[in-house]
Amino acid sequence: MAMAQAPGDNSRWFAGLRDGKIVAFSAASPPASPTIVADLALLSGMPMAYGSEGGLLDFAFHPKFAQNGQLYVSWTTDGGPADLRSVVSRLTSTDNGVTFSQHSTILGPFDQPDGNHNGGGVQFGPDGFLYLSFGDGGGGSDAYKNGQTRSGFFSKILRIDVDSPPPPGATYAIPEGNPFKSGGGEPATFARGFRNPFRFTFDRGSGDLWVGDVGEARWEEINHVQLGGNYGWPCREGATEFFTPQTDPERCSSTMGLVDPIIAIEHSSTSPSRSVTGGLVYRGTSIPGLVGTYVFGDFITQELFGLSFDPTSGSPVTSVLNADGTPAASWVSFAQDAAGELFAIALEGEVYAMVPAGPQPSKIFPDRLSKTGCVDATDAKKPAPGLIPYGVNAQLWSDGASKERWLAVPDGKTISVADDGDFELPVGSVVMKTFSVAGKLVETRLLVRHDDGDWAGYDYEWNDAQTDALLLEANKTKKVGSATWYFPSRADCVRCHTAAARRTLGLELGQLNGDLTYTSTNRIANQLATLDHIGMFDTPLGTPIAQIVAYPNPLGTSPVDGRARAYLHANCSQCHRPGNPTRSDMDLRFFVPLRDTNACATAPKVDDLGVPGAKLLDPGSPGSSVLSLRVHAFGAARMPPLATSVIDAQGTALLDDWIRSLASCP
């Protein structure tokens, strides 16, 4: 979850793991195996709670660690209404960080009313004081009304003095200058009005405080935080009104003096942000063009961003640093070594060093579809010999386009089948899909598994003459018929083709268990039987085809519940499944029982879309079911969020019929 070097010691890294352990390892390359130097549960005598957004969240070394051995940790233990309580602890080492043997509680434990929006950042500022961040307590739309409350720790950046003698009965002192030191609010407050300031850092060069504040339904914020500032939540999201003096006079009676973010990134099909992870200002030397740039990420869309300022106008300029889609990970924090070089940390524990870019894939990948070897050398509209056509039982909605699909596996290689039925294709494999609208070719997408094992997407736009397709360098929109067609970027490709879904959507037993007309032989055959017969699986299918579940066609005539679940599987489960970060805990895979989807009668964590009492799935009521509302929506509320601008009339009707058919939750 977090990584840091002790002040004055660039020979080691320390990493905080979500389960409450802190490990140390050599900074040499490659690093030695990590050793455990602290276990919060053992040291504190309090159990670690790391469900939802809990666990060890962040840690910071005291600036005088070499003298006092102190390390400060923000984490969660169990208890309270949500079984989650926030704690800030001080650990002390007497052997220069080889072990931490002493524990004391500095702040908390205090109850979190919900499982999300814990904040959890901890950093020492250039003034020597300890800064802490906490969110609004969770739920959606400031459900617990903490956003503008002056008292308590919620929705605030706190500043405390851990070096001066505290008042009697306290564990810290309040610095001079804190806006409520003498009354009127929580004395530890430095700034307030945040939704979930999960990550914040200080610029080593200027000392400026930067905060990434996770947005609700429309905007993600990067804030340059000043002492005493009110950053607006829930009266504002980004620089836009959320609640107003008219809609919520209790919290937003006046919006005078609210501080706007430096930038606000909108949730939209063309804007890659859903859950910002605050980062660091680059002060290293290996990438001169990045010096002074604030580098941050997005937990859900997996982009890495750079925020700089135009030297002439002073206006903020944002760029995507991993526009080719790699590396793609759920970013949880950033770290900086003694030399100022940056590292990005992913939820699953991967650490990526930021280095100067090498040759871009677009420069080495063929610029024309005809040059890829995936299509016929004399007619780019036809697949190359050796590509295997396939179809799926339940289709992803693509604004009414028709699609053709092929796969290719290197000679001598085979496909493995995971326990959940997903296909695992070997290195060197290619999946190709072509989209046509009204009989005209529009787009061909290639998903390629490279030598490093990672997948990357490449998008080709067909020319008007229909003779070839050109590789696109970035996302693009254009008018196709009466609709606006969206060509995804390479980063967009891996946003939908998630690692949790093994990247190749649709290649799974339940989707391919059906007949296909093979045009090369003009024969109709079951796809699984065909692939098995030609030896494409590393282990022959041991189960008779008739006993393998086939997902129903959502537009067919089988019972409505199965068809609706197949529709959700094809259109939603690539993201809404275990192992993929979203802003909901839903699991919409076809084979998951409804009672285990975390959807039925469950209140939305983020946004009720203006429907009081809405549920993710409200039996009998499509109008109060977020599942239905989102597929009917446009703009930031729309699901799926990418590459669609036309409502699927048949698909939405199917979901609504299914919801109406449900009398209750299982």
SS3 assignment for 393-439: CCCCCCCCCEEEEEEECCCCCCEEECCCCEEECCCCCEEEEEEEECC
Angle among Cα 155, 159, 160 to the nearest 5 degrees reads 130
Indicate if 459 and 539 belong to the same structural domain. Answer: yes
Residue 85 lies in a domain: no
**d(Cα 448, Cα 459) in Å, to the nearest integer?**
11
Q: Which helix (H) or strand (E) holds 278?
A: strand 276-281
327 confidence band (pLDDT: 50, 70, 90): confident
Indicate if 402 and 443 belong to the same structural domain. Answer: yes
- The mean predicted confidence, pLDDT, of the chain is 92
pLDDT for the residue 360: 54
Indicate if 345 and 426 belong to the same structural domain. Answer: no
Residue that has been written with the tokens 């037993």 in this structure = 509
**d(Cα 177, Cα 46) in Å, to the nearest integer?**
34
pLDDT in tens, 346-385: 988 899 999 987 665 445 789 999 999 999 989 999 999 9
Residue 53 lies in a domain: no
Query: What is the pLDDT averaged over residues 559-578?
Result: 94
**d(Cα 331, Cα 346) in Å, to the nearest integer?**
4
Q: Which helix (H) or strand (E) holds 496?
A: helix 490-496
pLDDT for the residue 122: 98
Q: What is the strand order of the sheet 21-26 is part of?
A: 2-4, 12-16, 21-26, 35-39
C-alpha closest to that of 147 among 137, 157, 139 = 137
Indicate if 437 and 531 belong to the same structural domain. Answer: yes
411 confidence band (pLDDT: 50, 70, 90): very high
pTM score, whole prediction = 0.76
Indicate if 471 and 385 belong to the same structural domain. Answer: yes
Indicate if 368 and 332 belong to the same structural domain. Answer: no
**d(Cα 105, Cα 118) in Å, to the nearest integer?**
18
pLDDT in tens, 456-482: 899 999 999 999 999 998 888 899 988
Is the pLDDT at 271 greater than 70? The verdict is no
Indicate if 589 and 512 belong to the same structural domain. Answer: no
Is the pLDDT at 646 greater than 50? The verdict is yes
Residue 652, CA distances (Å) to 133, 381, 629, 630 in order? 41, 33, 9, 10
- When divided into structural domains, the chain yields a total of 3
Indicate if 465 and 375 belong to the same structural domain. Answer: yes
Query: What is the pLDDT averaged over residues 487-514?
Result: 88
Query: What is the pLDDT averaged over residues 256-278?
Result: 84
Q: Where is the domain boundary, 334, 358, 382? A: 358
Residue 62 lies in a domain: no
325 confidence band (pLDDT: 50, 70, 90): low
**d(Cα 124, Cα 171) in Å, to the nearest integer?**
17
pLDDT in tens, 516-537: 999 888 899 999 999 999 999 9
Residue 586, CA distances (Å) to 438, 572, 652 in order? 35, 10, 19
CA contacts within 13 A on the Cβ side of 259: 19
496 compared with 120, residue with greater pLDDT: 120
Helix 649-661 to helix 560-571 angle (10° resolution) is 130
**Beta strands 276-281 and 58-61: pairing type?**
unpaired
Residue 130 lies in a domain: no
Residue 399 lies in a domain: yes
Q: Where is the domain boundary, 358, 377, 412? A: 358
Which percentage of the chain shows pLDDT scores above 90?
74
DSSP state of 637: G
**d(Cα 514, Cα 632) in Å, to the nearest integer?**
30
pLDDT for the residue 362: 47
Query: What is the pLDDT averaged over residues 132-155?
Result: 94
Indicate if 570 and 516 belong to the same structural domain. Answer: no
**d(Cα 26, Cα 3) in Å, to the nearest integer?**
13
Query: What is the pLDDT averaged over residues 315-343?
Result: 88
- In the chain, the N- to C-terminal Cα span, in Å, equals 36
147 compared with 582, residue with greater pLDDT: 147
Q: Let me know how long the chain is.
A: 666
pLDDT in tens, 194-225: 999 999 999 999 999 999 999 988 899 999 99
Which percentage of the chain shows pLDDT scores above 70?
98
CA 284 to chain centre: 27
Query: What is the pLDDT averaged over residues 295-307?
Result: 91
Q: Where is the domain boundary, 493, 524, 547? A: 547
Indicate if 399 and 291 belong to the same structural domain. Answer: no
Residue 298 lies in a domain: yes
Residue 439 lies in a domain: yes
Task: Determine the structural domain holding residue 643 and report its residue range.
Answer: 560-661
387 close to 536: Cβ distance less than 8 angstroms? no
Indicate if 500 and 375 belong to the same structural domain. Answer: yes
CA contacts within 13 A on the Cβ side of 356: 7
Indicate if 504 and 640 belong to the same structural domain. Answer: no
pLDDT in tens, 606-623: 777 888 889 999 999 999
Is the pLDDT at 272 greater than 70? The verdict is no
Give alpha helix (H) positions in 127-284.
Answer: 249-252
pLDDT in tens, 89-106: 999 999 999 999 999 999
**d(Cα 122, Cα 73) in Å, to the nearest integer?**
7
Residue 595 lies in a domain: yes
